Amino acid sequence: MVASSALPLGAWIGTRHAPSRVVTAALLAFASGALITAVAFELFADAFVGGGVWRAGAAFLAGATVFIVVDTWLDRYTERRQATGLGVGYALLAAVTLDGIPENLAMGVALLESGSATLLVAIFASNLPEAVVGAEKMREGGIGPRSIMLIWGGTAILLALAAVAGYGAFSGLSDSALAWPLGFAAGAVLASLADTLMPEAFAEAGRRPAIAYFTALGFLLSFLVSAA
């Protein structure tokens, strides 16, 4: 619930006083760095320790492949709507859902191993700016604030249920069996970083050196949270 609450919070901000594009880009970049920490030191590391290089590697590549295939199909499906602000808003909503399901499943699985504070911070940080921008574009496209809040609130409930499902479905599994969902989620999340979060950060603010710096900052602070 804490991780998913970033979506209605971001939607509320986007329907009222959306931050500048530079601030949004910095938030997206910070989230990218934070998710790199979560993938490297929580998801894939646990998959590797529990399942070895072949099981973890195969699951990782499967997760990346599934995300790329589904995301490519989604891009083609929404391509004709991208030219309008409303289309961008719905595309971001779809991207949040597509990214968020493996991320929240991963958080549910990670809760079987640890408190998963790093992944919680990373998911919250990635959801907030995407919801802000998506809600802002929907508002510009003529959708009312109440409808926007219902849309993003419903998405938050869906992603919260994904975390519960990840925890419930995989509890009781051995470490070697748990390597499959952990590795799969790691591959899907890393693919979403390269395909969605990082490109959006640079698209929002252009090639500003500060954007790369915020990515490094997100990695560093999330690593410190993980190591604490």
Q: What is the pLDDT of residues 123-151, one digit of tens each?
A: 787 788 878 878 887 887 788 999 999 99
What are 89's two structure tokens?
């808003």
pLDDT tens per residue, range 34-89:
888 878 887 888 889 989 999 999 999 998 998 888 878 767 766 655 545 566 67
Decide if 29 contacts 149 (C-beta within 8 A).
no
DSSP per-residue codes, 14-76: HTT-PPPHHHHHHHHHHHHHHHHHHIIIIIHHHHHHHHHHHHHHHHHHHHHHHHHHHHHHHHH
153, burial (CB in 10 Å: exposed 0-12, middle 13-18, buried 19+):
middle
Distance CA 72, CA 75 (A): 5
Write the DSSP symbol of residue 120. H
